[in-house]
Amino acid sequence: MNARTPVVAENATEVEGDASNPADKHRIKESAPAVESLKEERPRPARKKRPGRLLVMVSVPLLILLGGLWVWLTSGRFEETDNAYAQQTKIAISADVSGRIQTVSVSENQKVKAGDTLFTLDPEPFQIAVDEAEADLSKARLDVEQLKVSFHTAQASLASAQDSLQVQQELYDRRAILAEKGVTSNSTLDERKLSLLSAKNAVTTAQKQVENARAALGGNPSMPTDEHPLVRTEMAKLELAERNLVKTTIKAPSAGVISKIDNMNVGQFVTAGSSMASLFEADKTWVDANFKETQLEGIEIGMPVEVTFDAYPSTHFNGKVSSISAGTGAEFALIPAQNATGNWVKVVQRVPVRVELDKTQQSDRLRSGLSAVVSVDTGLSAFDKLTAH
């Protein structure tokens, strides 16, 4: 049986037939003009006019052109770098005296205030030193008092020697008169003369003793005892001993976060000056931004800065340029670059720029070493820079 192929005309009856059958083929062919006439008689819908299409076709390219021009004119105003890191003052905690750790009062990453006790050393040896210094001070005061007594004794001896000299002088004068008159022999006069010389020597010796006693008192016999050099020396030793005793308690020099306390163990012997922990001042944070040397032309001290830390991308910190380094980072390297070679390759240098954050935005969430993105508002666009040149 041959397949029947339906032919459907729009708004017409269905015509069935076999395309391979000549009779059917003739019927389909006769029905085609009728279908075409029906298609021609069907009214075509009118096209709607779209006046906004032309406006869009003109305005979109124009807006793109104007936007690109605006971006070009305003570009270059901000100098940005992601080679920036947060910095905080790092203080090495150490003991001023040597001793054995007795107590530890802090834990790792603990927040501390200025004056909080971190750890203590065994105070007994230092207390003994204080007691010894106090004893030495008392002895020095006693020695000064003895020097004052010796001075007064020397003065009394001088006065006695001067009186004796006066008596011997009078005796010698009388014998000399008698010897001139022949009443007394010359041998008796010689004896008086010898006694007079002895009295003069005694006076000279007494004067030297007074001078020595005065010199021992610093040239001022009326000097207060505590102002004497010997006493002041012992007082200084006592103050040093008392200071060392106080320094057995190690306190936080400022507020911050204490870290790396692994060396602070009870019973451990500590050498003076050895680092025991680190204290980061969390309330004093700044950013060191390493700008390329080609970016420094428009950067000046005092310019506003916006800082975004990778740890807190949704928070924007404001600040300003506080200083620009006197040299590039390579100048402060442990091994400076050797550029005077035949295979030298020019490398763009970076200059550290310090950014001071607003005090109102100082946060204890910030940590030293955090990565940051720094954008400096130079206030000059590419157009301004172009016209300036």
- Give the tens place of pLDDT for each residue, 57-71: 778 888 888 887 776
pLDDT at 252 over 60: yes
Q: Residue 44: helix, strand or coil by DSSP?
A: coil
Alpha-carbon gap, residue 172 to 190, rounded angstroms: 9
Q: What is the pLDDT of residues 145-203, one digit of tens each?
A: 998 888 888 888 888 888 888 888 888 787 777 777 766 666 777 777 888 888 889 88
In tens, the pLDDT along 274-284 reads 999 999 988 88
Asked if residues 305 and 377 have their Cβ atoms less than 8 Å apart, the reply is yes
Give the pLDDT confidence of 290-345 residue by residue, as tens digits.
999 988 888 999 999 999 999 999 999 999 999 999 888 888 877 777 766 667 77
Look at residue 71 in the predicted model and tell me its pLDDT: 65
Quote the CATH superfamily of domain 78-88+283-388. Answer: Efflux pump adaptor protein, beta barrel domain (2.40.30.170)
Residue with token string 């076709």: 57
Q: CA torsion angle for 226, 231, 234, 235 (degrees, to 10)? A: 10
How distant, in Å, are the alpha carbons of 144, 225, 295 from that of 221? Answer: 10, 10, 74
Q: What is the mean pLDDT of residues 45-51?
A: 57
Question: DSSP string covering 233-253, please?
Answer: HHHHHHHHHHHHHHTTEEE-S
